[in-house]
Amino acid sequence: MAFGPPALGYDRAITVFSPDGKLYQVEYAAENVRKGWTTVALKTDNVGVLVAEKRRISSLIDMNSIAKIFMVDSHMGASFAGLAADGRILIDYARREALNYRFVYDEPADVEYVVKSVCDVKQLYTQHAGVRPFGVSLIFLGKDRRGIHVYKTEINGYYFAYLALAVGSGEQPAMEYLEKNYRKDISKKDTIELALKALRAATEEGLAPELIEIGVVTLEEGVFRKLSYEETAGYVMESGVGK
């Protein structure tokens, strides 16, 4: 009697568990994340940094029109690795949740509250027939009343808090660099340079300022902002990771 591949039949619907307890559609969606553009995030005692790469997929594309780091609220930003369309939709949802919270309670939402709201939606798309999981992992960086936080959302709707992490195609070398060099007691400048060097470890060539984005939030100011091209170019040059 001939047998097909182990996943045959169990990957045709999101609601069907395989005999070994897996949802294959969720695992397939996670493959999108592993092939995505690399993003690095970390927090130290006084600052949080988000660094994301952009790739020139065509010589005719205006790279200024491509965004990889997004502001969710004045105190919080996000990036993603995986299917960009899914990331855009979930970030828009996060923005609505943050704004609704601010409207109702007249104060900024906790970072974890927004992350949990997004993960609730992601989890729903792993249990209903006729839908597919979101093929994207989001990284949230923000400062709230409890300090600076870095969160990563998983495909299955779970989430974790991190001191430092990387996602995307360069996750492994970037994580190895962070594990060897991460420290909590460093300055804002050194934190940004550490994130850039981790991203550099995940790329074959040096970093070009026009092909990366940097988001920063400090404990003192509590405001998330994207650095300008001039600021980004300065950090790239000072850290020695440029082309």
Which residues have a Cβ under 8 Å from the Cβ of 147 and sit 6 or more positions away? 219
Per-residue pLDDT tens digits for 86-123: 999 999 999 999 999 999 999 999 999 999 999 999 99
CA atoms within 13 A on the CB side of 93: 17
* Nearest Cα to Cα of residue 96 among 82, 84, 113, 83: 113
Sequential DSSP letters for 116-169: HHHHHHHHHTTTSTT-----EEEEEEEEETTEEEEEEE-TTS-EEE-SEEEEST
How far apart are the C-alpha atoms of 78 and 82, rounded to whole Å? 13
The CATH code belonging to domain 24-58+65-239 is 3.60.20.10
**Which one-letter amino acid corresponds to residue 146?**
R
Per-residue pLDDT tens digits for 147-205: 999 999 999 999 999 999 999 999 999 999 999 999 999 999 999 999 999 999 998 77
The predicted model scores a pTM of: 0.91
